[in-house]
């Protein structure tokens, strides 16, 4: 009993800590007043409506979605192909290649973004949403590669072997056997990738110029200090991520 109380108490405390900022953020996005701080002056949707009517924010939202989906599609494709190569067991230097492909995971986004910024500068390449997407592909490919590589196991290899034995070309092996067999992992990789790209700030900040993504637009909103409108757009961003993650959770669950 004592043990139960301690556990329940600790859980309540930690969950409180974990949800406190998100809860406050969401609550005060409905603030009927000019400041998202106590006292709560009543329930109002005006900040949400203002967000939806803000053309800059809506443009940024569209940019974010574009970058997220495009970069994730490329990252999943690259990661899937590489995972198949490594899983085959006949890739020379597989260990080194695996290490090289996952290396970006251990490097700070700030450093990756800065490196790309410097390189684009030297090349005379202007900054745009495309350069942001390039950066997001760099950070998401290792993730997609790791998820796909974990999903391709002996069962997939055996089925591929059987398909080849029955006369399937490599393209058909990949399209008809491997991809459908690891579909949940591919979906999960894609959705996670979308979430990371959607939430990513520093690379998008460094590598964009006139068209910006949502986190960068929110960043510039922050200059105006605490504002229920920022709360509203923040809750919106959080909702999108939460839905995507829920999607991942569900696809992964179905696999079991």
The rounded distance, in Å, linking the Cα atoms of 11 and 25 is: 22
Which member of 57, 149, 163, 232 binds other proteins (CB under 8 A)? 163
In the range 174-193, which residues lie near other proteins by CB under 8 A? 177, 180-181, 183
Rounded to a whole number of angstroms, the minimum distance from the CB of residue 156 to other proteins is 10
Rounded to a whole number of angstroms, the minimum distance from the CB of residue 108 to other proteins is 3
19 binding other proteins? (CB under 8 A): yes
Q: Look at residue 109 and give its three-state secondary structure.
A: helix
Q: Which is nearer to other proteins, 20 or 150 (CB)?
A: 20
In the range 58-97, which residues lie near other proteins by CB under 8 A? 77-79, 81-82, 84-86, 88, 90-92, 97
> Angle at the Cα of 229 (from 228 to 230), degrees rounded to 5?
90
Q: Omega of the bond prior to 76 within 30 degrees of 0, cis?
A: no
Rounded to a whole number of angstroms, the minimum distance from the CB of residue 221 to other proteins is 9
Distance between first and last Cα of the chain: 34
In the range 91-150, which residues lie near other proteins by CB under 8 A? 91-92, 97, 100-101, 103-104, 106-112, 114-119, 121-122, 134-135, 137-138, 141-142, 145
Q: In terms of C-beta density within 10 A (0-12 exposed, 13-18 middle, 19 or more buried), how is residue 210 classed?
A: exposed
Structure tokens at 32: 């009927």
């Amino acid at each position: 009993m004592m043990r139960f109380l301690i556990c329940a108490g600790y859980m309540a405390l930690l969950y409180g800590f974990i949800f406190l900022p998100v809860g406050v953020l969401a609550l005060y996005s409905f603030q009927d007043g000019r400041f998202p701080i106590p006292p709560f002056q009543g329930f109002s949707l005006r900040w949400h409506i203002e967000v939806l009517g803000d053309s800059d924010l809506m443009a940024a939202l569209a940019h974010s979605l574009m970058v997220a989906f495009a970069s994730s599609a490329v990252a999943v494709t690259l990661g899937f192909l590489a995972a198949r190569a490594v899983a085959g067991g006949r890739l020379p230097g597989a260990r080194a290649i695996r290490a090289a492909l996952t290396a970006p995971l251990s490097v700070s986004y700030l450093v990756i973004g800065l490196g790309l910024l410097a390189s684009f500068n030297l090349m005379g390449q202007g900054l745009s949403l495309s350069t942001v997407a390039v950066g997001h592909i760099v950070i998401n490919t290792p993730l997609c590669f790791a998820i796909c590589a974990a999903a391709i196991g002996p069962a997939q290899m055996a089925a591929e072997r059987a398909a080849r034995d029955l006369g399937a070309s490599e393209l058909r092996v990949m399209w008809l056997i491997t991809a459908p067999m690891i579909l949940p992992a591919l979906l999960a990789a894609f959705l996670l990738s979308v979430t990371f790209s959607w939430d990513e700030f520093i690379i998008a900040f460094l590598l964009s110029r006139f068209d910006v993504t949502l986190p960068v637009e929110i960043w510039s909103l922050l200059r105006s200090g605490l504002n229920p409108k920022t709360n509203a757009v923040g809750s919106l961003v959080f909702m999108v991520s939460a839905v995507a993650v829920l999607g991942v959770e569900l696809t992964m669950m179905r696999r079991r």
